[in-house]
Structure 1
């Protein structure tokens, strides 16, 4: 029902494209709905035949504009102008329109835009919807206590660990560990270092990994 409801919401949208699945689900729901409506009115509600015909006609009229817009978008999907829809007013033209509706859409963008599946991934403002980036655990450099991701091995120091900052520092380490920025061993070592500095009453600098996004094609990031 998703494609049917989407088509009804876009009842006057003649731009863009519609896949075969969208077109045929809309068509199937419309045809089945006509039969079910007629049967319910006739059998359950004992409506007079003339009234049944009238109500089915209302159902058909309500779907005329959405069906027209859907047909135009389906023609766009096979890279044909919407004016081909006029073939449906002729007998032989209806057969051509049926064949067109069976054809697969063009791969990738065409002169009428992106495939409908790609358009669904866009937000209303036309910007690509944000999706979580693939997560990758950071691996430590051999012989160092820092972690490197898919970008660079840059490091960023936490603020000096004074007793009053202990809770804040531990919270930041915990969040970084939960996000995958630190392995279990690294987290334990940094935590122990932070606690030791706090107990000693001194201040020390705890170095934790950060990520630079300078290299193209990188996947990992700290969330």
Structure 2
């Protein structure tokens, strides 16, 4: 194991367990509900604009997404959306909050191996109650030495967390499926950043990969993390 890296941060949604696919399913249901008012592409673009506008108010997560669905429905129908459609949208949000957690391949065995050699920190953004629910249902909580549920992920976030729970950013690594939230700001803070692509990533999380950064790495799945750590040690 690496002697320089002592602390490893993990993103949660779409890194440890499935998440985005449930948003896509819900958005498809939303498009079906409003099919008589807007085509799917236009509705998706308008929803994305509303979500982006609301991020500073609602933050990340299912509750903010549901509120943005309601707001978009009001906009595209010019205030004429039936109450039955609003009720259906709220039901979609509740169903998302009840959905069972589906961990991704290689997660369990990788965390089990790492937890005896490194300080593992779960660093996730989103709704506090929902993230706590997913962590509890995942059965992964005991592998982590600390859990940080934050409103945003920037370089100051990683600097603070890796100082609090480890030996600082330079001896830390952050792993996640979002270049924008997990990888780039962690590298800017001085840590390693490991990108694990997921087939579905929210449009607002897309940025260019920092290919020239010496501490940037990309793996296809978490099963490749242990060999990577051995390689850079």
TM-score range, shorter chain: under 0.3
Considering only CA atoms, is the larger Rg found in Structure 1 or Structure 2?
A: 1
Higher relative contact order (CA 8 A, sep 6+): 2
Normalised to the residue count of structure 2, the TM-score between the two structures is 0.23
Bigger proportion of residues as strand: 2
